[in-house]
Structure 1
Amino acid sequence: MSKEKLLEVKNLKQHFKTGRHTTVKAVDGITFDIFKGETFGLVGESGCGKSTTGRSIIRLYNATEGDVLFKGESVHGKKNKADLKTFNQKMQMIFQDPYASLNPRMTVMDIVAEGLDIHGLVKSPKERQARVFELLETVGLSKEHANRYPHEFSGGQRQRIGIARALAVEPEFIIADEPISALDVSIQAQVVNLLKDLQDRFGYTYLFIAHDLSMVKYISDRIGVMYFGKMVEIADSDELYKNPMHPYTRSLLSAIPLPDPDYERTRRRVEYDPEKDHDHSEEPVFREIKKDHWVLCTEKEFEQYKTEMK
């Protein structure tokens, strides 16, 4: 992993009006960077804003406020058709639901080749076919699958088709939006291992969005924890698990089951209470309590966390 910033999210806000006088602050001023070649895991419970963050980064939503920079250029700035086409090629998304994200009327050949056709990446039907066969083999399928339809495949196979479609245009950055949550547990590890293998081979950069902390730790270099639209903690994967500082992060980690009956019998779940667990004398801000370990906290909490670190 290099220290070259591929993506910069700056004070990103995504608010939705739900009525004349009500607004949902799905993402409420988050800032983080993703470096070239790394996997940045984004975790939090359902409804915390992590999927909305991914969709805002890839321009499925226009940002309410703030900005996203991809290779130094604003994602949400005005773009002509040619610029949008280039952007859409460089940034791709793997969706959560492998059942809903594939067109049931299209063959696998046409689903995977759609990006090739749009971006003019192949010059003949023969080259198109060869490229699709190659992509299917890359994700663990075979060329015999090319003329079948999505309903003929299992959930894990459909997600592999979705991955092949994302890889077809040779992107630099891939947003994996809960790509394993709709799959059986036995299949989840296969898909995650495939993503890791592809990263090793081709140097992809991932934003991996999930709520399964154990799987996120396995695949991610760094992890960001979200709670109700706010980023509350960012650290290297191992550091976050060894030294969780924010009470919400501690609560999430305490809920991870381990394959140890003795541990499970005595495991204590840490309950998170935003009212009791924080100093409310001032507005919390993101502070670096240790190199590359950031926590949303007040000055008083910052001193407390530093003491605990020692």
Structure 2
Amino acid sequence: MTEEKLLEVKNLKQHFKTGRRQVVKAVDGISFDIYKGETFGLVGESGCGKSTTGRTIIRLYDATDGQVIFNGKDVHGKKSRGQLKEFNQKMQMIFQDPYASLNPRMTVMDIIAEGLDVHGLTKTPQERKARVEELLERVGLNKEHANRYPHEFSGGQRQRIGIARALAVNPEFIIADEPISALDVSIQAQVVNLLKDLQKEHGLTYLFIAHDLSMVKYISDRIGVMYFGKMVELADSEELYKNPIHPYTKSLLSAIPLPDPDYERNRKRIVYDPSQHDISEAPEFREVRPNHWVLCTTKEFETYKTEFQNK
């Protein structure tokens, strides 16, 4: 992993109006960077804003405020059709639901080749067919599958088709939005291992969004934890698991089951209570340890630092 920034998210906000006066702050001022070649895990419970973050980065939603800088260029700035096309080729998405994200009326060949056609990446029908077959085999499917329709495949196979579709245009950056949560547990590890192999082969950079912390640890270099639209903690994967600081992160980690009956019998769930924080001061994102950031007040910051010194 190089220390070259591929993506910079600066004070990103995504607010939705739900009524005349009601606004849902799905993403409320988060900032983080993703470096070339790394996997950045984004975790949190359902409704915390992590999928909205991914969709805003890739322009499926227009940002309410803040900036997304990709390869030094502002994603949400005004763009010509040519610039949009270039951006869409460099950044791709794998969606959560492999049942809903594939057009049931299209063959697998046409689903995967859609990006090739849009970007003019193949010159002849033979070249197009060969590229799709190559992609199918790379994601663990047979080239004979190209003429079938999505309903003829299992969930895991459909997600592989979604991965092949994302890969077709040779992207630099892939947002994987809960790509394994709709899959059977036995298939999840296969799909994650495939993503890891593809990353090595193609030098890909991932934003991996999930609520399953154990799988996120396995694939991610660094992890950001979201709670109600805010980033509450960000650290290297190992560091976050060994030394969680924010009470919400501790709560999430305490919920991970382990294949140890004795441990499970005595496992204590930590329940997060947001009211434990001092609300007289707005919390800020602060570096408690090198490269370990936590959303906290000045008083909490001093407490966390003292706790670490006493460890």
Question: SS in structure 2 opposite 1:235?
Answer: strand
Residues of 2 paired with 1:21 and 1:150: CA distance? 42
Residue type at the aligned position of 1:230: K
Question: SS in structure 2 opposite 1:20?
Answer: coil
CA RMSD of aligned residues (A): 0.5
Deviation at 1:56, TM superposition (A): 0.2
> Under a length normalisation based on structure 2, what TM-score does the superposition of the two structures give?
0.99
Question: SS in structure 1 opposite 2:147?
Answer: coil
Q: Which residue of 1 aligns with 2:292?
A: 293
Deviation at 1:281, TM superposition (A): 2.8
Deviation at 1:280, TM superposition (A): 2.2
Residue type at the aligned position of 1:123: K
Residue type at the aligned position of 2:268: R
Question: SS in structure 2 opposite 1:76?
Answer: coil
Residue type at the aligned position of 1:76: H
2:238 corresponds to 1:244: no
Q: Which residue of 1 aligns with 2:146?
A: 146
Matches within 5 A, 1:180-191: 180-191=180-191
Question: SS in structure 2 opposite 1:189?
Answer: helix
Q: Which residue of 1 aligns with 2:263?
A: 263
Q: Deviations over 1:71-116 (max 9, x none)?
A: 1100000001000000000000000000010011111111000000
Residue type at the aligned position of 1:262: D
Q: Which residue of 1 aligns with 2:44?
A: 44
Residues of 1 paired with 2:40 and 2:308: CA distance? 24
Question: SS in structure 1 opposite 2:170?
Answer: coil
Deviation at 1:308, TM superposition (A): 1.2
2:204 corresponds to 1:204: yes
Deviation at 1:269, TM superposition (A): 0.6
Residue type at the aligned position of 1:281: S
Deviation at 1:142, TM superposition (A): 1.2
Q: Deviations over 1:178-232 (max 9, x none)?
A: 0001100001111000000101111100000000000000000000000000000
Deviation at 1:31, TM superposition (A): 0.2
Matches within 5 A, 1:264-279: 264-276=264-276, 278-279=277-278
Flag structure 1 segments of 5+ consecutive residues without an equivalent: none
Aligned length: 309
Residue type at the aligned position of 1:226: M
Flag structure 2 segments of 5+ consecutive residues without an equivalent: none
Deviation at 1:279, TM superposition (A): 2.2
Residues of 1 paired with 2:237 and 2:255: CA distance? 17
Residue type at the aligned position of 1:151: H
Residue type at the aligned position of 1:222: R
